[in-house]
Structure 1
Amino acid sequence: MSLKNSINDFGTFLGDKESLLDKNYPRIAEMLKLHWGYIEIYQYINKLLIVDKDRNRQGFPVEALQEIYILQEIHEKLFPDMRK
């Protein structure tokens, strides 16, 4: 099941659009679903967003970054006691 279909607020945010994370980054989408509802999601998101100078990574397109930030906001809203 996609992120869009498994997280109602995310589906509402996307509307008719397809999720770039679901489409182009299926492993990341799966990991986000796996961590959904747990405090570990914040560590995983930080790992996605922070660039280690010793690693050569391309980074995400702006639209994918926006989806990650929206998912983090939705998680914080649904699980407010889990935020560090």
Structure 2
Amino acid sequence: MPLKTFFKEFGVFLGEKESLLDKHYQHVAEKIELHWGYDEFYPFIDKLLVDCRDRKRVGFPIEVALEITELHNIHERLYPPRNKN
């Protein structure tokens, strides 16, 4: 299912535009759906946005990074991270 349909708030963010994650990064979109609502979402998204490896990754285009960031923001509002203390 497209992210825009799966997450109502994300559909509002995109408006009439198609999700670039769905269009060009289907494997990432599927993993976002899989992790949605779980604590594992946060480390997964962090790894997408921050390269902690050998710096040989090209990274996402800015428009895709903005989609990922918006999904993070929506998830944080709906499922605030639990304190691990």
Instruction: Tell me whether the two structures share a fold, i.e. TM-score over 0.5.
Output: yes
More helix by share: 1
* Equivalent in the alignment of 1:54: 54
1:52 deviates by: 3.0
Identity %: 54
CA distance in 1, matches of 2:71, 2:59: 18
Structure 1 SS opposite 2:70: helix
Normalised to the residue count of structure 2, the TM-score between the two structures is 0.90
Q: Which runs of 4+ in 1 moved over 4 A?
A: none
Q: How far does the alpha carbon of each residue in 1:43-77 deviate from its partner, in whole angstroms, 9 at most, with x for none?
A: 10111112134252110100000000000000011
* Equivalent in the alignment of 1:27: 27
Normalised to the residue count of structure 1, the TM-score between the two structures is 0.91
Relative to structure 1, is the Cα distance of residues 37 and 62 closer, same or farther in structure 2, using a 3 angstrom cutoff? same
Alignment root-mean-square deviation, CA: 1.3
Q: How far does the alpha carbon of each residue in 1:8-28 deviate from its partner, in whole angstroms, 9 at most, with x for none?
A: 000011010000000010000
Relative to structure 1, is the Cα distance of residues 2 and 55 closer, same or farther in structure 2, using a 3 angstrom cutoff? same
Unaligned 5+ runs, structure 1: none
